[in-house]
Amino acid sequence: MAIIRKKDTGTVVEPKGFIDLTEYPLIVPEETDARVKIIEIRTFEDLSTASDLAYKGNILFIRCALPEENKKGAMDTITAELKRIAKDCGGDMVIIGDSFVLMTTNGVRIDNMISKRKKRI
C-alpha cells in the first residue's frame, strides 16, 4: 500500500493536436534553365558568350585556350572582365591553375578549402 497518493485535481487532459500536412499545398521550386556550363574561351569575342550564359544564372567552368603569344596579358584582361561579370551577377570567381576559371552567379559563393603547403627551409 502506498503512503503517498496523487491528489485528484478533477481536470481532464486533452490530447495534443497534430498538424495535418496534407492540408497545406506542396511548394515546389520553379524549374530553371540554369546549369553548370563548360565553355572554352579562345578569343576576346568568346567573352560575350560567357557573359550571356552568366547573366542567365548558369555556373561556368571556363577553359582559357589562348594563343601562346601574349598569353599572360590576355589572361589578365579576360579574368578581369570575368570578375566584373561575376560581381554584376552577385556571384564569385576563382582561377584554377594557369588556364581554368570557375564562375558562379546568383549569390553562390566559392569556399576555397585548399590548404596552403608549408615551404621547406
Query: What pTM did the predictor assign?
Result: 0.64
Q: Read off the pLDDT of residues 51-96 as tens digits, 9 standing for 90 and up.
A: 999 999 899 999 998 887 777 888 889 999 999 999 998 999 999 8
- The average pLDDT across 92-112 equals 87
- The pLDDT tens digits for 7-44 are 666 666 677 777 777 888 877 667 777 789 999 999 88
pLDDT of 19 = 78
The span from the CA of 96 to the CA of 80, in Å, is 15
Distance CA 64, CA 74 (A): 10
Strands (E), the chain: 36-41, 59-64, 92-96, 100-104
**DSSP category for residue 3:** S
